[in-house]
Structure 1
């Protein structure tokens, strides 16, 4: 394994695979903050060259956190299909990149390939790709899953209806739900971020959403994005839990900062399959985002792209229905500006899809970041071209509870029209019956939320 090269008359030597991965990363303010980024463009190019020559076996043998120290590393390694791995372990990262981008490599081939990849391999190949490479590679992959409806099929673009309210007021939540549905949004999930994470409040919100969906016979799934232990207790109380949510990190220490470990995820997953209300079999919903491990001082001197890839490796273990990166939410300390957020969104989406999960993106930003709504719309267009599975839908793209900006109810039908995409099939048939859609496009009645008050 060679960890040095000579470039433009200068020698570059790296101490470890972890250092090569970090310094081969595109500029990220989080890596600079952690003190692990390349010092200049020359060192970054040298690291990319060294990385391109490493084999997939080198990467498996050198996870950024050793197996004996980290349960995320053990889960990712234990889920590898050994037969697939043996067939590719001698490939260089450059050869992996070429295989993914080759015109003859399609969805079936990439699905088989993903079963033999560790997260470090997935991150490594992303670091050798341009933004357009990331779009092309991701566009080839369709990861299909089923909860109450089926997500990830070709030609479909779904959306989470996010009816957040600053006091969890039932009337305010339902007003947002009605408006979002009237624009054909909500086929991925109707998912509420609660202000109040107590068990009674979470059960009340679950029952509110569940009853509304039942009354209007809407083919979707509901979720209240409380801590997974609260959702588990809600299941035990008989509450109508369908999708089980949790934010996850790419290291064991990062997950402990979220108040979770694999034992808790295992227990919730088993309970959801046995006692949850969803048809399944895919009943888990995970959110991620570059930089969370660094913010928790749980990054082990690894770069944020590699750690993000490890989130998807962990998510894969639980056969999720939804995974998304909340790409611009964590702030400029980790992704400084539009350029970095755009790159991270494309990286995350590609890595999730290559890992084999139904991957969406919360294309978003916070007000202290150097970005605006046009930047996020640009990212949404790029991601739609890349075959993004789903986006968020929020009133006017402005979340009044979380205080951040992302894609609006209006953006989703626009992206569907631009790219000739449609909602999930079961939801589309329902929206057609309600007069909201016709042939996958909004009707003149769209946007009239009073149809749900009659």
Structure 2
């Protein structure tokens, strides 16, 4: 395995695959904070050259964290389709990139090859692709999943309503929910981040959301994003869960800092398939974010993008409804500005898509990050161009409970019209029945009027 190259008359020698991966990454403040980033543009270019020439077998044989030490590694390695892997193991990372870029490499062809990839291979090819490359390949692939409704079909983009409230006040929650629905938002899910992580509060909120969904016959799915142990306890007591949520990360140590183990997720997945009221095939929902392993002192010397790819490989074990990366949520310590935010969002959508489930990105930033709503709109438009199947919005683009900025409910119709994407068909029909949309999918005079749910 070759770990050095000569560039502009200077020899660049790397210690191992992890160092090549880290220094080939596009600039991110989190990798700089961890001391893993390339020290110059030239060193980054040299690492990309070495990575592009590396065999896929070299990457598989050198996982980011050793197999015997980490259950995320074991999950990723054990789910590889060995027959497909044998076909491609002597490809270079550059060969993989070129193959996916071919016009003749359609979505189903790429999906088949993806079954033979490890997450580290997916991270590697991502690092040698341009933004346009990432959009071009991701747009080819349709990963379809079903809970109550189905997402991931070509030309369809769903959106999660985010009715968070600082005190879990039920009237405040529903005021936000009414607004979201009145703007045509909610076909990905009605997803609430609760303040109180108790079985009683989670059960109360699940019952309220479920009763509301049944009363208004809304074709979507509910989720209350308590810790997975809280949700399972509520489910065992009869709470109406459509799907099960958990935040996950790219190392066993990071997951343990979240209070999560593979055995716990396995048990929840098995129970959910039997007990979730949605009756759907895909009943798991995960959230991720670059830098979470660094925050938990659990990155183990691995760069953020590779860890994020490993998170998606881990999620794949549970055949999720979709996975959502909250791209700028942790702050400028990890994703510094709008340039890094845009690149990270495109990388994450591409890597999740190549991990073979519907992938979403919460296009967001914190108030101490040098970014703006215009930057978020730029990224959202590019992700829509890439065919991303799941977005999230909030009233006025402001999560008043988690204190970060994202897309606004009022932005959603504009994004759909600009991109040519459509809502989930049965949800669109429901909006037409509610006279929020007309027969052409355009807003009526009732759009944005939350009071229609009070009449």
Aligned to 2:313: 313
Aligned to 1:352: 352
1:253 aligns with 2:253: yes
Q: CA deviation at 1:362?
A: 0.2
Q: Residues 61-76 of structure 1 correspond to what in structure 2 (within 5 A)?
A: 61-76=61-76
Distance 1:287 1:215 in 2: 29
Cα deviations by residue, 1:364-413 (Å, 9 ceiling, x for unpaired): 00001010111111110111111111111200000110010001111111
Aligned to 2:453: 452
SS of the residue 1:5 aligns to:
strand
Cα deviations by residue, 1:310-355 (Å, 9 ceiling, x for unpaired): 0100111100002010000011111111111111111001000011
Aligned to 1:441: 442
Cα deviations by residue, 1:55-106 (Å, 9 ceiling, x for unpaired): 1111111111010000000001111111111111111000100111111111
Aligned to 1:162: 162
Cα deviations by residue, 1:173-209 (Å, 9 ceiling, x for unpaired): 1111111111110000000000011111111111111
Contact (CA 8 Å) 1:391, 1:412: kept in 2 or not?
no
Q: Residues 268-287 of structure 1 correspond to what in structure 2 (within 5 A)?
A: 268-287=268-287
SS of the residue 1:410 aligns to:
helix
SS of the residue 1:87 aligns to:
helix
SS of the residue 2:278 aligns to:
coil
Distance 1:225 1:285 in 2: 9
Cα deviations by residue, 1:252-308 (Å, 9 ceiling, x for unpaired): 001001110101101111111111111211000000011100111101100000000
Aligned to 1:147: 147
SS of the residue 1:442 aligns to:
coil
Cα deviations by residue, 1:1-37 (Å, 9 ceiling, x for unpaired): 1111111110111110011000000111111111111
Q: CA deviation at 1:441?
A: 2.2
Aligned to 1:197: 197
Contact (CA 8 Å) 1:147, 1:279: kept in 2 or not?
yes
Cα deviations by residue, 1:417-454 (Å, 9 ceiling, x for unpaired): 01111111121111111111122222221111222112
Q: TM-score, normalised by structure 1?
A: 0.99
Distance 2:288 2:320 in 1: 13
Distance 2:60 2:402 in 1: 38
Query: Unaligned 5+ residue runs, structure 2?
Result: none
Distance 2:408 2:114 in 1: 32
Contact (CA 8 Å) 1:190, 1:223: kept in 2 or not?
yes
Q: Residues 329-348 of structure 1 correspond to what in structure 2 (within 5 A)?
A: 329-348=329-348
Q: TM-score, normalised by structure 2?
A: 0.99
Query: Unaligned 5+ residue runs, structure 1?
Result: none
Cα deviations by residue, 1:151-178 (Å, 9 ceiling, x for unpaired): 0001111100000011101111111111
Q: CA deviation at 1:250?
A: 0.3
Distance 2:89 2:335 in 1: 33
Aligned to 2:391: 391
In the TM superposition, structure 1's runs of 4+ consecutive aligned residues that sit over 3 Å from their partners are none
1:417 aligns with 2:408: no
Distance 1:91 1:229 in 2: 42
